[in-house]
Structures are given as C-alpha cells and as structure tokens.
A and B are shown apart, each in its own frame.
Chain A
Amino acid sequence: MNNITSLLARAFFMSTPLILGALGEVIAERTGMMVTAVEGIFLIGAWGGFIGAYISGNLYLGFLLAMVCGLMVALLYALTTVYMNQHQIVMGTAISILVTGFCTFFYRVIFGIQTTPLKVEVLSTIQIPILSQIPFVGKILFSQNIITYLAYLLIPIILFVMNHTALGLTLRSCGENPEAVDTAGIDILKIRFAAVAVAGCLGGIAGAYYSLCNVGMYTSEIISGRGWIAFGICFLGNWNPVGALIFGTVFGVSEAIGVYVKSLGMSTMPSELFSALPYVLVIVLTVCRKDLRAPNKLGQNYVKEN
C-alpha cells in the first residue's frame, strides 16, 4: 500500500512538466502552429532555471528566468515560421539542436568544468491543510509542489477560455481555417505568434521542473526527449486540455514505474528497460489511437496575399 501511494504520488509529480508542456502545445496547435522547437524550449528552461536559481539562490527567480528563456526560443521559432514562412518541422528541429549546443557551451562558460555536478535544493512540497490528511488520496494529490498545483489549475482555465470566450473562438478558428479569420478582419499571424509565445513560457517552466523540482541540477541529458513526449501527449489528447491531463498522467505513471523499478535494484532485469517505457508507450499509443481530429490546418503556414 505504501509503495503504491508513493508510486502514484511520484506519477503525478512526474506528469506535471509533461502536462504543462502539452498544454502549451495544445494552445499553439489549435491555432495551427506545431511547436516543434519544444525539445529545445524544455532544455533551455532546465538550463535557465538552474542558472537563475543557483546564482540568485531563489528557486522562483530560477523559474522566472526559465520562462524568459523558453519565451526567447519560442519567439525565434515564431518569427521564422509565422512571419518568415519557414517550414515548421525543419525550423523547430534546427532550433532545438542549436539550443543543445548553446546550453552545454554556456554552462561551461559560466561554471567551468566541474568534477561533481553543482546542485540546488529542489522545490519543496506544500501540504494542503486538511486535504492532505485524507488517507491515500491526500498523500498522492495534495502533497505536491506549487508548480503541480498550478498546472492542474491551468486546465479548467484553458478549457474555459477555449470554449467560452471570443479569444478561444479566434484561437480555434485560426487552426481550422486561417482564411476565415483573416477575412473576419483579425490579424491571424499575430494570434499564432502569441500562441507560440505562450507555449514557450509554459515549456520553459516545464523544462525547469526537471532541474529545479526533480534532480536539483543541470546536465545536458536532463530532458532527453521529454519535450517530444509532451508534443506526443498533445496529439494523443486530441488537442484538448483534458486529453493532455489524461495522457500526461499516463506518462507520469510510466516514468514513475521506471524510477520505482530502479530503486528496487533488481539484478535479473536491467532497469534501463523500464526507463524506456515512456518512449515505447508514445509509439504504441500513437499507433493505437484512432479517432484523432487534428486542427485542419495544423503545421501549415498562412501566407497573406496582397
């Protein structure tokens, strides 16, 4: 019982950055923009978050810097794709690779080569009064850190904006038929640009979650494909915040299982096999998922005639 409680608590803990990243992706993709720079955004978030926190000694300043770093990468991506009409997949991949080099290089420039990795204290959990006392559930859901709570709070907010406001209607229309938005007199490019920027902020925070909540340090392998997993979750969740929550949790569980098996220290089975679980899961679930309804113009740039 105790094991299961901690496993599930761990699952929600690990699902947070994936959900955050996927939510950003949902917002952008509903306007038609695939944020394929998401891996780079996660990585620079982890990097910026660590540097901010290490230098200032304040984790929240770390998250702030991570957000700014994520935003910067997203703006570069949005500028080249939305306004300069470059291919979304090519541009995003190129930017991600650039970010990898950038982070490794400047980490060494700032801190030199360390024999033992530099560390910061990880973000502490907040026990929610009363609720955290509920047996089983309290330990799983109400003993998490502030970022996790915020991620869950974001879901109903995004849902409401998407489905009940003029802004949401515009967002959704951009991904379905940009021309209709254009003829309605709305600056579609501005909307797409802003949506990618929001995805950048959320992705930056998600990246920092790994360095500041999970391990308390930065390595160049810290993200290792989790940006892409968030990208996949957006697809699997049918471009819906609730779907992002469901599949984000599924992947959180699979990550937690990997960590749990490792802690058992089994000699018969290599624990790396379980670490691979989320990646295998992406492929299996994507193949199995059938009734996907992608935004009609997803991944297609809009070029104004005049």
Chain B
Amino acid sequence: MGKNIIVELKHINKRFAKVLANDDVSMVIKEGEVVALLGENGAGKSTIMKILYGLYHATEGEIFINQKKVEIRSPKEAMACGIAMIQQHFSLVEAHTVTENIILGHCKGKIDFTEKEKEIQALADQYHFDVPAGELVKNLTVGAQQKVEILKALYLNAKIIIMDEPTAVLTPQEADVLMGFVRDYVAKGNSIVFITHKMKEVLEVSDRIIVLRNGKISGTIEEGEIRTVKESELVNLMIGHDLEIIKAPSMTGTDNRKNRLEVEHVSLRSKDNIPLLDNVSFSIKEGEILGFAGVSGNGQQELCEAIYGARKLHAGKVILDGEEISQLAVKERIEKGIGYLASDRYRYGMISGMTLSENILLKASYLKNWVKNGIIKWKELNNYTENIIQEYKVKAPDHEVVIGSLSGGNQQKVVVAREVDRGEKLIIFDQPTRGLDLGAINYVHKTIMREKSKGKSILLVSTELSEIFALSDRIAILYKGKIMGIFQNGELSTEQIGLLMAGYELKEA
C-alpha cells in the first residue's frame, strides 16, 4: 500500500526463566499508520513492545529500523531511534512538576526552569493539550498525566509512539480526545502502536490489527480487511474459541422486593480531612445488582470498605435487612452474610504463599464451619476446597498447591468462590474482572448472575462500562465521592454516563 516500513521485527523469541513470552514473533510498523496489538493478558503484546523499547532484551531475533539492523539495549537507544513508549503504569515522578518530568534525562548542567516551562507549555498548546507545565504531576487527573507521558515522547521528536493500554484509565470523553490525537499524529507521517484488549477501540482507530495469543501471532487483519472484520472473529483469534453470551438482566419483578442493603447519608474523610465519600445514599433490593460506574479512585474502594466495615464512617448509617450495622466490626459483618471481593486481590484478597485450602479458610478462620475448639478441621476444609476446584473449574492439581502458582484468572475464581460463600445476603464485587482474560471474565460474570438469581444482593463496582451495562439492574455513578445519579440500566447512553463520570451534571449537557 505504498507506505514505507520503518520498523521490522524478525523472529523474536523472549524467554523469562521457564516461560516463553514471545514465540517467533515477526511484524512490521509502517510510516503513518496505527497498528493495534490485540491480545489477552499474558499474550505477550507488552513484552514484544518492551523489547522494541529496550526495556527487555530478546532471547533471539532481530530488529531492523529503516532497513538497518539495530541492537536496542536500553530505552535511551530506542529513543535515539525515534521510538517512545507510554507504559500502562505511567512512569512519572508525581512529586515533580510537568516540566521536570519531561526534561528528566534530556537536559544538561544548569537548568533555566522558567525557560523550559515556556518551551513545554508551547509544545502542549501546539497539540491542544490542557496541561499546565508548572503544575505538580500529582495534582493532575489521570487523563492529564497521560498527556504528560505523550508530551515526553513529543519532546523527544518521537516518530513512533507505543501506547500500552492507554484507555484503561480514561473516561469515554478522555478516550475520544486521545483517539483524536492519535489520528492527528499519524496524519503527520508518524506511527502509533496501540496495545489493548478492547475490541471496540481497536476497530475504531487502527489501520491494521495484529492479534497475539500465548506469545504467538494468531492472526493479522490487513488494512483492506479492517472494515469487514467482525468482533467475534477477533475474539476467536484472541482466545481460540467463541464466548458464551451473557443475557442482560431482566428489569422486571424487582420493584416489589424488599430492600436488603440501605446506605444512608454516608460520609467518609481521609486522615487529612479530605472528603472521600460525601453524603452517599442508595439501597439495593434482594436479587438486584447495583452497578457503580466511575473512573477508579473516585471513592469506589472507600465505599466498599465502608459497607464491609474496614473503614469508620464519619457520618451516616449502613443498614442490612433493617438492622443497622454501621457500628459492627468486620468480623460481625462477615457473620451477617456480607462477602467482599476486593479490587486488589494480591493486597486484600489472598496470601500468595499459602495453599488453596488456607486461602479458602482465610476470612472464615473464626467461623464454626472450619474450626472446632481452635483446631482447624482440615479434612472437611480440604474436601470443600476440592469441590470448589471442580465446581468453578479452577485449573489446579489439588487443594495443596500454593495459590500464587495459579494464573490470575484461576486465583480470582478461588477468591470469588470464597466470597460468594461468605456473602449469603450481600456480595460486594470491586472490579471483579480487572486484569483477567476473557474466559475468566466470562466465568466471573456467570457466577455473579447465578448468585443474583439466588436472591442475593450485589454491589458491583467496575471501571469497564461494558461490564456495568451487561450485568446491572441499576447504575450509580460515583465522582469524587459523590453519587452523580442512580438510573435504570438502559436509561442512559454511554456518552451521558461518561459525562457524569467526569463530574458534569446531565442538565448542563
């Protein structure tokens, strides 16, 4: 199609200890195009790009830039070749200003900060980025921080920008702005590699799609085919088989059920008195799923912890089945039948170095089920764990393996099983599918729907709008610790929710 090839990767292999992360991957990046790298977690899409950016070193294989063979040993050498990469987790120094972050490593001797600030501001204005060059990065929104990362690349005159899951942290509007930039930037003859697992944005923005699975390229969609390719075909390339489709929940029959959880005027403040939750009120009926949409960090985790009892309320009440539980300890709330799947599994949900049985026991060690006179009833616990392995199709040899040795999806299944069991009345799911692959996501979704049909109340927090839409009966939007509104699923468009997520009232829009 006449476009010049700038970068060519030939037969790249990358081995981490025993794992083969990239297996004979060959691809090209052409001038003025957006290439999407699509794949599940662990498919090797970030790895191959980190090799190109010099963060990793390929075990085997060659890299050509402008037809010349090159060795890229460090990011510095990659930058010298005009390649920049924006990591999924930004590498910004939060305590420093935008300018300091951008010039880090690219200035010498004495720095004239006012001069540099002007230069950076001019660059930001040129791309219509609303980023104050003198501001501390920690005071910026996530969307603006991403722009700082992009400015870092632009400051170095990068010709190729690699973006790793760039929309994961953005509101739909911010994502649109980003897509706008992507278009402008490639129109000037530059190239962008877009690493993602979201089908929608792939089809929206890319000129070519490369799909990876298990470290290998499982398919390529060329420029001519991109308008005709179906999402289901891409899914098939990504995971190797089709997905079951989850039925959207019925909205009838919930009206005359009684309220299970009532949260009344709950406020919460941080140590330095910053409000984390501000007068939050809502209720969840039996057999109902209330989905909380919002950009992460807007009080979702605090809300879950407040209901679960891990945080002390500053004001307000939490009521379960007509009984106030605001003053109860976590242990007592667990006994009342509240399950809580924390968003950060590694930190709050499991102990990597312990076995599956021990992790099942983790939150129930003081309940009578598994402990008699202070002694653990191993036999019953182990049988129970074996059942979970069967029932949830956990890929694990037995109950004695260490949970840390399982894949993320299988770890999550075990933790979900435990919480589903604890939560006889209410289950709180905080980002239950974060970082999981499509198969595991599907399974977790099915489990949530199953528990709903048993009459349990479910509070679902997710940053993925598609997940909220697929599962919830009603949708609440959190912004800076406030509820922006609660709506029936289907009442709002994606765009309207996006506005609410960004803190705009709907009337203004």
Give the B-binding residues of A (Cβ under 8 A).
164-166, 169-170, 172-173, 176-177, 179-186, 293, 296, 305-306
Contact = CB atoms under 8 A, between A and B. Distances in A.
Nearest to A174: B93
B96 A165 contact: no
Interface residues of B, number: 28
Contacts of A296: 94-95
A244 to B, nearest CB: 19
Nearest to A176: B93
Nearest to A173: B93
B94 A185 contact: no
A184 B95 contact: no
Interface string B56-91: 110000000000000000111101000001010001
Given A182-B75, A183-B87, A170 B105 contact: yes
B104 interface: yes
Nearest to B76: A185
Among A164, A169, A179, the most chain B Cβ lie within 10 Å of the Cβ of A169
B389 interface: no
A166 B108 CA distance: 5
B92 A177 contact: yes
21 contacts: A164-B113, A165-B109, A165-B111, A166-B107, A166-B109, A170-B104, A170-B105, A172-B93, A173-B100, A176-B94, A177-B93, A180-B104, A181-B104, A183-B55, A183-B91, A184-B91, A185-B75, A185-B76, A186-B76, A293-B95, A306-B55
Contacts of B91: 177, 179-180, 182-184
B106 interface: yes
Contacts of B75: 182-185
A172 to B, nearest CB: 7
B92 A180 contact: yes
Interface in B87-127: 87, 91-96, 100-101, 103-111, 113
Interface of B: 55-57, 74-77, 79, 85, 87, 91-96, 100-101, 103-111, 113
Given A176-B93, A176-B95, A180-B92, A169 B111 contact: yes
Looking at chain B's contact residues, the main secondary structure is loop
Given A182-B75, A186-B105, A177 B94 contact: yes
A172 B107 CA distance: 14
A170 B104 CA distance: 6
Nearest to A180: B91
Given A166-B108, A180-B104, A186-B104, 12 more contacts: A164-B110, A166-B109, A169-B107, A172-B93, A173-B96, A177-B94, A180-B92, A182-B75, A183-B75, A184-B106, A185-B75, A305-B55
B79 to A, nearest CB: 6
B437 to A, nearest CB: 22
A179 B91 CA distance: 6
Contacts of A306: 55-57
Contacts of B104: 169-170, 173, 180-181, 184, 186
Contacts of B77: 185
A231 B93 CA distance: 25
A243 B412 CA distance: 48
**Which of A164, A173, A177, A184 has the most CB atoms of chain B within a 10 A radius of its CB?**
A184
A82 to B, nearest CB: 18
A52 to B, nearest CB: 35
Nearest to A179: B91
Contacts of B108: 166
A136 B56 CA distance: 63
Q: Which of B93, B96, B108, B109 has the most CB of A within 10 A?
A: B93
A165 B75 CA distance: 22
B79 A185 contact: yes
